[in-house]
Protein backbone atom coordinates (compact mmCIF):
# COMPACT_ATOMS: atom_id res chain seq x y z
CA UNK A 1 0.00 0.00 0.00
CA UNK A 2 1.24 3.46 -0.90
CA UNK A 3 1.05 6.33 1.58
CA UNK A 4 -2.61 7.24 1.97
CA UNK A 5 -3.40 10.45 0.13
CA UNK A 6 -4.54 13.30 2.35
CA UNK A 7 -6.93 14.89 -0.08
CA UNK A 8 -9.45 13.24 -2.39
CA UNK A 9 -12.26 15.05 -4.20
CA UNK A 10 -14.94 13.32 -6.26
CA UNK A 11 -16.81 15.32 -8.90
CA UNK A 12 -20.06 13.51 -9.57
CA UNK A 13 -23.73 13.84 -10.36
CA UNK A 14 -26.61 12.17 -8.59
CA UNK A 15 -27.99 10.71 -11.83
CA UNK A 16 -24.67 9.11 -12.83
CA UNK A 17 -24.15 5.47 -11.95
CA UNK A 18 -20.59 5.82 -13.19
CA UNK A 19 -19.99 8.44 -10.46
CA UNK A 20 -21.85 6.23 -7.99
CA UNK A 21 -19.33 3.41 -8.52
CA UNK A 22 -16.63 5.66 -7.05
CA UNK A 23 -18.85 7.05 -4.28
CA UNK A 24 -19.72 3.45 -3.36
CA UNK A 25 -16.06 2.37 -3.24
CA UNK A 26 -15.23 5.34 -1.00
CA UNK A 27 -18.25 4.71 1.25
CA UNK A 28 -17.67 0.95 1.66
CA UNK A 29 -14.03 1.59 2.54
CA UNK A 30 -14.75 4.65 4.74
CA UNK A 31 -12.29 6.81 2.82
CA UNK A 32 -12.65 10.49 3.73
CA UNK A 33 -13.17 12.74 0.75
CA UNK A 34 -14.94 15.80 -0.57
CA UNK A 35 -17.81 15.60 -3.01
CA UNK A 36 -18.58 18.23 -5.65
CA UNK A 37 -21.76 18.02 -7.70
CA UNK A 38 -21.53 18.82 -11.41
CA UNK A 39 -24.74 19.99 -13.10
CA UNK A 40 -24.92 17.85 -16.24
CA UNK A 41 -27.85 19.81 -17.66
CA UNK A 42 -25.42 22.69 -18.08
CA UNK A 43 -23.77 22.82 -21.55
CA UNK A 44 -20.23 21.41 -21.40
CA UNK A 45 -18.64 24.77 -22.13
CA UNK A 46 -20.38 26.39 -19.15
CA UNK A 47 -19.37 23.86 -16.51
CA UNK A 48 -16.85 24.96 -13.86
CA UNK A 49 -13.42 25.77 -15.34
CA UNK A 50 -11.57 23.39 -13.01
CA UNK A 51 -13.81 20.53 -14.11
CA UNK A 52 -13.44 21.32 -17.81
CA UNK A 53 -9.68 21.50 -17.45
CA UNK A 54 -9.29 18.10 -15.78
CA UNK A 55 -12.14 15.92 -17.11
CA UNK A 56 -10.57 14.80 -20.39
CA UNK A 57 -13.80 13.46 -21.86
CA UNK A 58 -16.00 16.13 -20.25
CA UNK A 59 -17.75 13.53 -18.07
CA UNK A 60 -18.27 12.64 -14.42
CA UNK A 61 -16.76 11.05 -12.45
CA UNK A 62 -13.60 13.07 -12.11
CA UNK A 63 -11.43 12.20 -9.13
CA UNK A 64 -8.70 14.48 -7.84
CA UNK A 65 -6.11 12.78 -5.62
CA UNK A 66 -3.78 15.42 -4.19
CA UNK A 67 -3.22 17.43 -7.38
CA UNK A 68 -3.64 14.62 -9.93
CA UNK A 69 -6.75 14.07 -12.04
CA UNK A 70 -8.26 10.66 -12.79
CA UNK A 71 -11.17 9.96 -15.14
CA UNK A 72 -13.20 6.98 -16.49
CA UNK A 73 -15.04 5.26 -13.63
CA UNK A 74 -13.47 1.81 -14.01
CA UNK A 75 -9.96 3.24 -14.45
CA UNK A 76 -10.54 5.27 -11.26
CA UNK A 77 -11.61 2.08 -9.44
CA UNK A 78 -8.43 0.35 -10.65
CA UNK A 79 -6.32 3.26 -9.48
CA UNK A 80 -7.98 3.49 -6.05
CA UNK A 81 -7.74 -0.26 -5.47
CA UNK A 82 -4.01 -0.10 -6.23
CA UNK A 83 -3.48 3.08 -4.20
CA UNK A 84 -5.11 1.65 -1.07
CA UNK A 85 -4.30 -2.01 -1.73
CA UNK A 86 -7.94 -3.06 -1.37
CA UNK A 87 -10.70 -4.73 -3.41
CA UNK A 88 -8.34 -5.57 -6.30
CA UNK A 89 -9.13 -9.28 -6.33
CA UNK A 90 -5.54 -10.16 -5.36
CA UNK A 91 -4.45 -13.22 -7.30
CA UNK A 92 -7.71 -13.07 -9.23
CA UNK A 93 -6.92 -9.55 -10.44
CA UNK A 94 -7.08 -10.68 -14.08
CA UNK A 95 -10.67 -11.89 -13.55
CA UNK A 96 -11.60 -8.56 -11.96
CA UNK A 97 -10.13 -6.72 -14.96
CA UNK A 98 -12.15 -8.93 -17.33
CA UNK A 99 -15.39 -8.00 -15.57
CA UNK A 100 -14.43 -4.30 -15.53
CA UNK A 101 -13.93 -4.44 -19.31
CA UNK A 102 -17.15 -6.40 -19.85
CA UNK A 103 -19.02 -3.82 -17.79
CA UNK A 104 -17.64 -0.94 -19.89
CA UNK A 105 -18.78 -2.42 -23.17
CA UNK A 106 -21.92 -4.28 -22.10
CA UNK A 107 -23.97 -3.75 -18.91
CA UNK A 108 -22.42 -0.34 -18.16
CA UNK A 109 -23.30 0.73 -21.69
CA UNK A 110 -26.66 -0.91 -22.45
CA UNK A 111 -28.32 0.06 -19.14
CA UNK A 112 -27.22 3.71 -18.82
CA UNK A 113 -27.87 4.36 -22.51
CA UNK A 114 -31.35 2.83 -22.37
CA UNK A 115 -32.07 4.73 -19.14
CA UNK A 116 -30.94 7.96 -20.79
CA UNK A 117 -33.15 7.32 -23.83
CA UNK A 118 -36.19 6.56 -21.66
CA UNK A 119 -35.76 9.03 -18.81
CA UNK A 120 -33.89 12.05 -20.10
CA UNK A 121 -34.12 12.24 -23.90
CA UNK A 122 -36.88 13.89 -25.86
CA UNK A 123 -37.88 12.20 -29.13
CA UNK A 124 -36.00 9.02 -28.36
CA UNK A 125 -36.28 6.52 -31.23
CA UNK A 126 -38.15 3.29 -30.35
CA UNK A 127 -35.81 1.26 -32.61
CA UNK A 128 -32.78 2.48 -30.66
CA UNK A 129 -34.52 1.63 -27.38
CA UNK A 130 -35.34 -1.86 -28.67
CA UNK A 131 -31.73 -2.40 -29.74
CA UNK A 132 -30.41 -1.28 -26.35
CA UNK A 133 -33.01 -3.32 -24.47
CA UNK A 134 -32.10 -6.51 -26.34
CA UNK A 135 -28.47 -5.97 -25.38
CA UNK A 136 -29.41 -5.24 -21.77
CA UNK A 137 -31.46 -8.45 -21.52
CA UNK A 138 -28.46 -10.41 -22.85
CA UNK A 139 -26.20 -8.70 -20.32
CA UNK A 140 -28.49 -9.39 -17.36
CA UNK A 141 -28.68 -13.05 -18.39
CA UNK A 142 -24.87 -13.29 -18.56
CA UNK A 143 -24.47 -11.71 -15.13
CA UNK A 144 -27.24 -13.79 -13.57
CA UNK A 145 -25.80 -17.02 -14.97
CA UNK A 146 -22.33 -16.13 -13.71
CA UNK A 147 -23.65 -15.44 -10.22
CA UNK A 148 -25.38 -18.83 -10.07
CA UNK A 149 -22.08 -20.51 -9.44
CA UNK A 150 -20.34 -17.68 -7.65
CA UNK A 151 -18.96 -17.60 -4.14
CA UNK A 152 -21.08 -14.63 -3.22
CA UNK A 153 -19.52 -11.80 -5.18
CA UNK A 154 -18.53 -11.39 -8.81
CA UNK A 155 -14.99 -12.62 -8.26
CA UNK A 156 -14.67 -14.79 -5.15
CA UNK A 157 -16.21 -14.53 -1.71
CA UNK A 158 -15.38 -10.89 -0.97
CA UNK A 159 -16.45 -7.71 -2.75
CA UNK A 160 -14.00 -6.28 -5.28
CA UNK A 161 -14.03 -3.24 -7.54
CA UNK A 162 -15.83 -5.47 -10.08
CA UNK A 163 -18.84 -5.44 -7.74
CA UNK A 164 -18.70 -1.64 -7.35
CA UNK A 165 -18.60 -1.36 -11.13
CA UNK A 166 -21.31 -3.87 -12.08
CA UNK A 167 -23.72 -2.61 -9.42
CA UNK A 168 -23.30 0.99 -10.62
CA UNK A 169 -26.60 1.35 -12.46
CA UNK A 170 -28.51 -1.73 -11.25
CA UNK A 171 -30.18 -0.03 -8.29
CA UNK A 172 -31.99 2.06 -10.91
CA UNK A 173 -33.18 -0.87 -13.05
CA UNK A 174 -36.82 0.18 -12.53
CA UNK A 175 -36.02 3.33 -14.54
CA UNK A 176 -36.04 1.11 -17.63
CA UNK A 177 -39.18 -0.76 -16.50
CA UNK A 178 -37.38 -3.94 -15.50
CA UNK A 179 -37.31 -5.70 -12.13
CA UNK A 180 -34.15 -7.33 -10.80
CA UNK A 181 -36.32 -10.10 -9.31
CA UNK A 182 -36.50 -11.55 -12.83
CA UNK A 183 -32.78 -12.33 -12.43
CA UNK A 184 -32.79 -13.92 -8.97
CA UNK A 185 -29.06 -14.67 -8.68
CA UNK A 186 -28.22 -11.09 -9.61
CA UNK A 187 -30.85 -9.93 -7.11
CA UNK A 188 -29.32 -12.03 -4.31
CA UNK A 189 -25.90 -10.58 -5.13
CA UNK A 190 -27.25 -7.01 -5.09
CA UNK A 191 -28.81 -7.75 -1.71
CA UNK A 192 -25.41 -8.86 -0.45
CA UNK A 193 -23.96 -5.52 -1.59
CA UNK A 194 -26.81 -3.62 0.12
CA UNK A 195 -25.93 -5.43 3.35
CA UNK A 196 -22.29 -4.32 3.32
CA UNK A 197 -21.42 -1.81 6.03
CA UNK A 198 -21.48 1.70 4.62
CA UNK A 199 -23.70 0.91 1.61
CA UNK A 200 -26.20 3.51 0.52
CA UNK A 201 -28.58 3.65 -2.45
CA UNK A 202 -27.28 6.01 -5.18
CA UNK A 203 -30.24 8.36 -4.62
CA UNK A 204 -29.04 8.79 -1.03
CA UNK A 205 -25.29 8.68 -1.51
CA UNK A 206 -25.01 11.12 -4.40
CA UNK A 207 -27.19 13.88 -2.97
CA UNK A 208 -24.98 14.48 0.03
CA UNK A 209 -22.28 17.10 -0.33
CA UNK A 210 -19.92 14.93 1.69
CA UNK A 211 -21.02 11.28 1.52
CA UNK A 212 -18.63 10.10 4.24
Binding site for its own copies (CB under 8 A): 56-57, 70-75, 78-79, 94, 97-98, 100-102, 104-105, 108-109, 125, 127-128, 131, 142, 146
Least spacing, CB of residue 52 vs its own copies, in Å: 14
Helices and strands, counts by H and E, the chain: 9, 4
Least spacing, CB of residue 208 vs its own copies, in Å: 26
Least spacing, CB of residue 185 vs its own copies, in Å: 16
Closer of 119 and 210 to its own copies (Cβ): 119
Closer of 89 and 159 to its own copies (Cβ): 89
Closer of 70 and 172 to its own copies (Cβ): 70
What does each C-alpha distance from 73 to 20, 21, 60, 145, 185 come to in angstroms? 9, 7, 8, 25, 25
Beta-sheet pairing, 8-12 with 62-65: antiparallel
Least spacing, CB of residue 16 vs its own copies, in Å: 13
CB-based burial label for 171 (10 Å; 0-12, 13-18, 19+) = buried
Least spacing, CB of residue 3 vs its own copies, in Å: 16
Closer of 12 and 200 to its own copies (Cβ): 12
Q: Are 103 and 74 in contact (CB under 8 A)?
A: yes
Closer of 61 and 200 to its own copies (Cβ): 61
| 10 SS3 class | strand
Cβ neighbours around 81 below 10 Å, total: 21
Amino acid sequence: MTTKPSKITLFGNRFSGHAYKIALFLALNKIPHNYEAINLSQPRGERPEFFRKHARYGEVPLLIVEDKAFVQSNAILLHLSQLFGIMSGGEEKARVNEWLMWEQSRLGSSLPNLRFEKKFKTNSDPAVQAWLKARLLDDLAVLNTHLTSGDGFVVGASPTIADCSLAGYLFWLSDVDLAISDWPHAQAWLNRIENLEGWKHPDKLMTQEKPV
